[in-house]
Structure 1
Amino acid sequence: MPTITKISVQKNNPERYNIFLDGQYRFSVDEEVLARFQLLKGKEISSFELDHIMLQDDIRKGVNIAIQFLSFRMRSEKEIKDYLRKKEMDEAIIKEVIHKLYEQQYLNDLHFAISYVKTQVNTTRKGAKIIQLELQQKGINEAYIEEAMGYYDIDKQVEHALLLAEKYAKQHQKLSEKQLYQRIEQHLARKGYTFDVISRALKNLHVEKVEDEEWFALIRQAEKAHKRYQAFTGFLYEQKMKQSLYRKGFSLELIERYLREKEEQIEMGE
């Protein structure tokens, strides 16, 4: 059987050791593997022992890579598996690595899910449906997702939705009030909020829109509509304009006021 004739520390990694058998370099091992198998100069190693040592060293490498990956933030089991696959590790090795990470309490999908939800609630304005989808994509099972989402209560969701609604309203003051509320509802739905949360948020939303602002908003939209329908005249023109502006959310009172003033301008030759 081959005999260990030399053991040396690697220059670039002092936690790994080069093993020489019968005067020739054969493999390297992690410090933990070296100690576990009592690899010492003069020790004979059978081919079976060598295969077992190499297997355990591969597992140890995988564990070290995973722990390094975990050092930046908590990860789900699926994230660790995907990362190790990118490192082209064998599935059997990955399975053993995951088992050891659970043993050493580096992995816990429930704790990960709870931490993830709390972080998203404290640092973002995502709706519950978006966060749930992200957890599903990270491989968290439905029971853990349901428990973790309990840390994003309905009142907090409404609070976040209202903040987004207020911000959107400020940025889109040129819209009619009806159109603004429709756009906000669509915006919040895209952010992952449920219909119930959106309804509660909109009930608490106060859009202070003075009459002049609504009037000038109508004029801007009417000018665009006029360019589309200026080829029409009389009753047909009025109907086209009314339909267009009404769909934009303006009241019939304001629309008719605009059309009267427009007609007066034409009569006066302006």
Structure 2
Amino acid sequence: MNKITKVEVQKNNKKRVNIYVNENFAFACDMELVYRYNLAKDAEIKIEDIREVLIEEEYISCKNYTLRILERGYKTEKEIEKKLIEREYSQETISRVQDFLKEYNFIDDRRYTSMYVKDKIKNEGRNKIKYKLMQKGVAEETIAKTINNVNEEDEYEGALALCEKKYRILIKRETDSRLIKQKIFRFLASKGYDFDLINRIIRKVVNEEYE
């Protein structure tokens, strides 16, 4: 049987302790686990107990790290998973943390998608928005349900404002109407707008259909 011979609070982090077993450093863990597992001096500890403590230590570390990420901004489930994999947490721990986040609504891809579309539709077309959400790991079905409910007038007004601004800039240095239309078309296409919508916008702003 192994015996805990020393429990030492870390100098730079009072919420963590170093545990010594049989006079040798064994592991470090969160203070919460000291009370949960009764990690006191002279307490006997089995190797199985140490493994369990270390599993819980990783879980607490992973959970706290994830919450710090979310404090800086909302993320999709896949974005969180990618960061945790890069941090080299075990898949079991990552799954536990994801379950915790879902249970307390810290992550919700449907809500994220709704918020993202509402924000981006002001200056991006649905094609670009869809692509970006797919890059963030959101399921196509989730994206489609939100994108299909986009107010077409909102998308049109956003594209119109961008086109008018671009047109005002271009006419200051370009005189060729066709070249102006080509540049506006490429600009709006890069923003993810459909051809038909771009055509309507150019016709309205430049008063001539793009060919």
Number of the residue aligned with 2:9: 9
Contact (CA 8 Å) 1:33, 1:57: kept in 2 or not? yes
Number of the residue aligned with 2:143: 145
Question: Partner amino acid for 1:142?
Answer: E
Contact (CA 8 Å) 1:76, 1:107: kept in 2 or not? yes
Deviation at 1:159, TM superposition (A): 0.9
> For the structure 1 residues 138 and 24, does the alpha-carbon distance in structure 2 shift closer, same or farther, using more than 3 Å as the test?
same
Root-mean-square deviation over aligned CA pairs: 2.3
Number of the residue aligned with 1:60: 60
Deviation at 1:158, TM superposition (A): 0.8
Q: Distance in 1 between matches of 2:112 and 2:170?
A: 38
Number of the residue aligned with 1:227: none
Q: Distance in 1 between matches of 2:102 and 2:34?
A: 23
TM-score (normalised: structure 1): 0.69
Q: Distance in 1 between matches of 2:10 and 2:115?
A: 39
Deviation at 1:121, TM superposition (A): 3.4
Number of the residue aligned with 2:19: 19
* 1:1-270 equivalent positions in 2, closer than 5 A: 1-121=1-121, 125-149=123-147, 152-173=150-171, 174-206=174-206
Give ranges in structure 2 of 5+ residues lacking alignment: none
Q: Distance in 2 between matches of 1:129 and 1:90?
A: 35
TM-score (normalised: structure 2): 0.86
Q: Distance in 2 between matches of 1:33 and 1:103?
A: 22
Number of the residue aligned with 1:242: none
Contact (CA 8 Å) 2:181, 2:206: kept in 1 or not? no
Give ranges in structure 1 of 5+ residues lacking alignment: 208-248, 250-270
For residue 71 of structure 1, give the secondary structure of its aligned residue in structure 2. helix
Q: Which has the higher contact order (CA 8 A, sep 6+)?
A: 2
Q: Distance in 2 between matches of 1:36 and 1:109?
A: 34
> For the structure 1 residues 36 and 150, does the alpha-carbon distance in structure 2 shift closer, same or farther, using more than 3 Å as the test?
farther
Contact (CA 8 Å) 1:16, 1:30: kept in 2 or not? yes
Question: Partner amino acid for 1:118?
Answer: K
Aligned length: 207
Deviation at 1:133, TM superposition (A): 0.6
Deviation at 1:128, TM superposition (A): 1.3
Pair member with larger Rg: 1
For residue 139 of structure 1, give the secondary structure of its aligned residue in structure 2. coil
Residue by residue over 1:223-259, the C-alpha shift from the partner in whole angstroms, topping out at 9 and shown as x without a partner, is xxxxxxxxxxxxxxxxxxxxxxxxxx9xxxxxxxxxx
Q: Distance in 1 between matches of 2:134 and 2:24?
A: 50
Question: Partner amino acid for 1:165?
Answer: C
Q: Distance in 1 between matches of 2:36 and 2:149?
A: 44
Moved more, 184-193 or 35-44: 35-44
> For the structure 1 residues 42 and 64, does the alpha-carbon distance in structure 2 shift closer, same or farther, using more than 3 Å as the test?
same
